[in-house]
């Protein structure tokens, strides 16, 4: 936790929550980048000079020539026009640019708040830690892209899951820190300990579901078995178990990965709804906690419906990116709900 200063905590809190909003937008942009197959269009990592896109025809042709050297172009996109390349280049460039903007929006106000005395010595380690995590996330993004530049025609789904997981960790920490500063003086209530534990179990299940969602995205598993609740007429299709050893299917078999994500999502929704119901049954809890639980119930219900709809329509870009955004909304609502139990 980041200790609140004696004054100015609301301004610092709003800044942290704004940064969380930028991370939310980053996740949406990242989903669009993935769904439009744009992630490998920039084959170099230039944290400073890469902020500028190609500015003339010669620079565009040079970037296009670099892209032509990787397997994705040679196997999947051979013959792509320069205009088509510019389209996928834009999304990857914009994704990286937004990451740079998040860094600026974090570090510049941090310096200003520190100079003005709105950030205390006790707060600095936590805030610097958040900045370091942001930088690490940029490196992980490049680590992910590298996996698709030499042999593969796409990125490793393991590295994709790592990249998304780190984004969610950073997002959750920003929200938690912001809420803590907006509502200082929270206490640990022993009579609410079981509820808070239920909330954190819910968070763990949401996180696990998101990881398997990244596996689904990385393996393009959402483009198969576009029926619900059965998978092409089977509850558990036999091709789920074609890999050896058996446990590897849960991580690398398209059918098994989608099966796990489907039913893990339903189990997660059930656990969250049970958590919200328990809050609603407690007469001693404040109204803010009950309202927060209600919004959480609506959020998880909407996310399940959105996920099924996305699957039935074979993951169009708009629905796929909205579904990823829905996961972040659920995480934010869950963090806020748990936070209200400490007021």
Length of the chain: 343
Instruction: Give the integer Cα–Cα distance in Å for 290 and 341.
Output: 10
Dist CA 189 CA 240 (whole Å): 46
Number of helical H runs and strand E runs in the chain: 11, 0
Give 19's contacts (C-beta < 8 A, 6+ positions apart). 102, 105, 106, 174
Place of tokens 């959020």: 299
* C-alpha span between 9 and 203 (Å, rounded): 26
Q: Determine contact, residues 26/102, Cβ cutoff 8 Å.
A: yes
The secondary element (H helix, E strand) that includes residue 24 is helix 9-35
- Residue whose structure tokens are 């980053």: 26
- Nearest-angstrom CA–CA distance, 31 and 168: 13
Is 261 annotated as belonging to a binding site? yes
In whole angstroms, what is the distance from residue 42 CA to residue 142 CA?
10
Annotated ligand binding at 188? The verdict is no
Binding site per annotation, positions for heme: 261, 323
């Amino acid at each position: 936790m980041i200790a609140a200063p004696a004054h100015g905590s609301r301004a610092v809190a709003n800044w942290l929550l704004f940064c969380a909003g930028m991370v939310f937008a980053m996740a949406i942009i990242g989903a669009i980048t993935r769904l439009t197959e744009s992630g490998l269009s920039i084959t170099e990592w230039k944290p400073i000079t890469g902020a500028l896109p190609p500015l003339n025809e010669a620079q565009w042709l040079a970037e296009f020539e670099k892209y032509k050297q990787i397997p994705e172009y040679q196997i999947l996109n051979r013959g792509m026009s320069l205009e088509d390349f510019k389209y996928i280049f834009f999304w990857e460039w914009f994704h990286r640019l937004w990451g740079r903007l998040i860094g600026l929006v974090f570090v510049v106000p941090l310096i200003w708040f520190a100079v003005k005395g709105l950030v205390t010595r006790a707060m600095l380690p936590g805030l610097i830690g958040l900045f370091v995590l942001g930088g690490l996330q940029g490196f992980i993004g490049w680590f992910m892209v590298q996996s698709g530049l030499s042999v593969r025609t796409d990125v490793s789904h393991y590295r994709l899951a790592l990249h998304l997981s780190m984004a969610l960790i950073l997002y959750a920490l920003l929200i938690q820190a912001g809420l803590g500063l907006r509502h200082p003086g929270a206490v640990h209530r022993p009579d609410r300990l079981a509820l808070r534990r239920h909330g954190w179990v819910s968070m763990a299940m949401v996180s696990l579901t998101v990881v398997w969602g990244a596996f689904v995205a990385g393996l393009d598993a959402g483009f198969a078995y576009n029926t619900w609740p059965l998978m092409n007429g089977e509850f558990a299709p036999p091709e789920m178990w074609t890999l050896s050893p058996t446990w590897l299917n849960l991580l690398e078999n398209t059918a098994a990965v989608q099966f796990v994500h489907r039913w893990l999502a339903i189990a997660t929704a059930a656990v969250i709804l049970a958590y919200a119901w328990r809050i609603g049954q407690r007469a001693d809890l404040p109204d803010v906690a009950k309202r927060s639980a209600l919004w959480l119930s609506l959020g998880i219900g909407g996310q399940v419906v959105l996920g099924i709809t996305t699957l039935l329509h074979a993951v169009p870009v708009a629905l796929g990116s909205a579904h990823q955004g829905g996961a972040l909304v659920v995480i934010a609502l869950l963090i806020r709900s748990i936070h209200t139990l400490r007021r």
